[in-house]
């Protein structure tokens, strides 16, 4: 089969689907380091991992409504100014299984680890678009281009054997501050096959689905990408909409992800003795470049809340959100030492820098595709004697 040439993967990954390969690490791996090692970074695919025969002859096409179309070699792209961004990538389906438990949804059954934080390096998309004649901060080109489409080489059944694709607004693509990258490195190493070798898009602060892997072409278009994952998937419908009455064109493609927070340690169902001293740990992140303002933990069912410590770099225990040094696109890891008297629940919720809060229950945000479950994360701790 076409799945004969898959790369090796870490045995600790929890496989949610083998073909295409969809897997997430144990939650504890996410809080073990601020930067997620590649082998523990979730893998989300819609088809077999492509094999690139010869990187020396690879050409990235840049066309559509641009003044001068071009083909760029990898060598050329590597010679452009190299920019690094620490960015958290999160699948829109992260925490889907918990949504499914309330009412069935369609999609890969993800736990809470379809997320990772990496240092991505490559050329800025805004620099590459300048090369083809589109200046920075362009809302529309003279010939009407308003969207930038990314087309891959992989094939997926949703596109009827065609390539995976997505688009972002031209304004975002040409904005240096948006930090959109054509990345060829992940964590200082050459991008590996699972994560998009030789080149992938990284759109910080936006659901993972727009960060197209194995990038083959960039087209400037008048309309947003008409691909399956933009038009027939990754949209948010109200709880009243189900598969018999879904009307896809009535909703926009999802872009920025909402404020999210998860307990990674201890894990659900852990048994502890009465009055156990425990350090609770997890991640918190928000989309659109919004930082995390606060992480609240409750060990009494949500009656009272304790504020957790937040950190971005392991060397520096605390970085405030407004000192200009924070990683704008990256998660914070948080921790709080508490004394627990099980059986009981631990609940966490975060607030972002725009004061957005997480919904308490999953019911109010239930949607047929099971996307963007950012309800309060709650785990149960059992009593041991
Ligand atoms: N790009 C291509 N070409 N094919 C894909 O299947 N999956 C997308 C996105 N880019 C996908 C893709 C989705 S839904 C997510 S969440 C991220 O890649 C996952 O990136 P990762 O596997 O590097 O974690
Ligand atoms: Mo995703």
ipTM: 1.00
For 100, residues 6+ apart whose C-beta sits below 8 A from its C-beta are 109, 370
Around ion ligand 2, residues with a beta carbon closer than 5 Å are: 44, 91, 208-209
Report the atom number in ligand 1 closest to the C-alpha of 153.
3
Mutate to test the pocket of ligand 1, among 10, 44, 110, 228 (most ligand atoms within 8 A of CB): 44
CATH number of domain containing 38? 3.90.420.10
Can you give the pLDDT at residue 290? 95
- Which of 280, 149, 269 has the alpha carbon at shortest distance from 218? 149
Can you give the pLDDT at residue 357? 98
Kindly state whether residues 77 and 164 are assigned to the same domain.
yes
Note whether residue 219 is domain-resident: yes
Kindly state whether residues 33 and 146 are assigned to the same domain.
yes
Kindly state whether residues 283 and 326 are assigned to the same domain.
yes
Note whether residue 151 is domain-resident: yes
Can you give the pLDDT at residue 313? 65
Q: Facing residues of 336 across strands?
A: 280
**Using a CB cutoff of 8 Å and minimum separation of 24, what contacts does 340-343 make?**
340/272, 340/275, 340/276, 340/278, 340/299, 340/381, 341/274, 341/275, 342/271, 342/272, 342/273, 342/274, 342/276, 342/381, 342/382, 342/383, 342/384, 343/380, 343/381, 343/382, 343/383
| Domain limit, last residue, from 250, 281, 303 | 250
Note whether residue 255 is domain-resident: no
Number of domains in the chain: 2
DSSP 171: H
Kindly state whether residues 75 and 176 are assigned to the same domain.
yes
Note whether residue 268 is domain-resident: yes
- Which of 45, 162, 181, 196 has the alpha carbon at shortest distance from 122? 181
Can you give the pLDDT at residue 312? 87
Note whether residue 56 is domain-resident: yes
Lookup result for tokens 């993967």? 9
Lookup result for tokens 């620490």? 86
Kindly state whether residues 309 and 210 are assigned to the same domain.
no
**What are the E-state strand segments in 234-376?**
260-265, 271-272, 276-285, 292-298, 306-307, 309-311, 332-340, 344-352
Kindly state whether residues 101 and 198 are assigned to the same domain.
yes
Kindly state whether residues 221 and 334 are assigned to the same domain.
no
Kindly state whether residues 268 and 166 are assigned to the same domain.
no
Can you give the pLDDT at residue 318? 45
| Domain limit, last residue, from 250, 277, 302 | 250
Report the atom number in ligand 1 closest to the C-alpha of 163.
3
Kindly state whether residues 166 and 245 are assigned to the same domain.
yes
Residue ranges of the alpha helices (H) in 81-196?
Answer: 96-102, 125-131, 170-173
Kindly state whether residues 224 and 270 are assigned to the same domain.
no
CATH number of domain containing 268? 2.60.40.650
Can you give the pLDDT at residue 320? 46
Kindly state whether residues 206 and 351 are assigned to the same domain.
no
CA angle (35, 38, 39) in 5-degree steps: 120
* Separation of CA 385 and ligand 2 centre (Å): 41
| Domain limit, last residue, from 209, 225, 250 | 250
Nearest CA to ligand 1 atom 2: 213
Kindly state whether residues 37 and 176 are assigned to the same domain.
yes
Note whether residue 340 is domain-resident: yes
Can you give the pLDDT at residue 215? 98
Note whether residue 103 is domain-resident: yes
CA distance 55 to 76: 12
Q: 289: domain range?
A: 260-383
Lookup result for tokens 């990496």? 118
Ranges in the chain, pLDDT < 50: 314-322
């Amino acid at each position: 089969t076409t799945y004969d040439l898959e790369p090796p993967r870490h045995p600790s990954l929890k496989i949610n689907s083998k073909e295409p390969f969809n897997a997430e690490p144990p939650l504890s791996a996410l809080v073990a380091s601020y930067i997620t090692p590649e082998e523990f970074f979730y893998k989300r695919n819609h088809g077999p991992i492509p094999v690139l025969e010869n990187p020396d002859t690879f050409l990235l096409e840049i066309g559509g409504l641009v003044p001068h179309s071009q083909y760029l070699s990898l060598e050329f792209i590597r010679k452009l100014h190299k920019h690094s961004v620490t960015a958290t990538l999160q699948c829109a389906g992260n925490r889907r299984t918990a949504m499914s438990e309330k009412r069935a949804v369609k999609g890969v059954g993800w736990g809470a680890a379809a997320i990772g934080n990496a240092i991505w390096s490559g050329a800025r998309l805004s620099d590459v678009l300048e090369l083809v004649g589109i200046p920075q901060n362009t809302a529309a080109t003279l010939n009407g281009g308003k969207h930038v489409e990314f087309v891959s080489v992989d094939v997926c059944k949703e596109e009827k054997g065609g390539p995976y694709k997505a688009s972002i607004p031209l304004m975002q693509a040409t904005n240096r501050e948006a930090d959109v990258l054509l990345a060829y490195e992940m964590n200082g190493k050459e991008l590996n096959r699972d994560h998009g070798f030789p080149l992938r898009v990284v759109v910080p602060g936006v659901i993972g689905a727009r960060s197209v892997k194995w990038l083959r072409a960039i087209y400037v278009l008048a309309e947003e990408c008409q691909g399956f994952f933009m038009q027939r998937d990754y949209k948010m419908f109200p709880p009243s909409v189900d598969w018999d009455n879904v009307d896809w064109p009535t909703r926009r493609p999802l872009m920025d992800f909402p404020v999210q927070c998860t307990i990674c340690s201890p894990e659900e169902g852990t048994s502890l003795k009465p009055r156990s001293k425990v350090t609770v740990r997890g991640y918190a992140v928000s989309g659109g470049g919004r930082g995390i303002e606060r992480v609240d933990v409750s060990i009494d069912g949500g009656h009272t809340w304790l504020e957790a410590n937040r950190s971005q770099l392991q060397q520096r225990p605390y970085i405030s959100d407004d000192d200009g040094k924070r990683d704008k696109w990256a998660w914070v890891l948080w921790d709080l030492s508490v004394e627990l008297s099980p059986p009981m629940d631990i609940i966490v919720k975060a607030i972002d820098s725009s004061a957005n809060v997480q919904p308490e229950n999953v019911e109010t945000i239930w949607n047929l595709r099971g996307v963007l479950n950012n309800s309060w994360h709650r785990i149960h701790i059992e009593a041991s004697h």
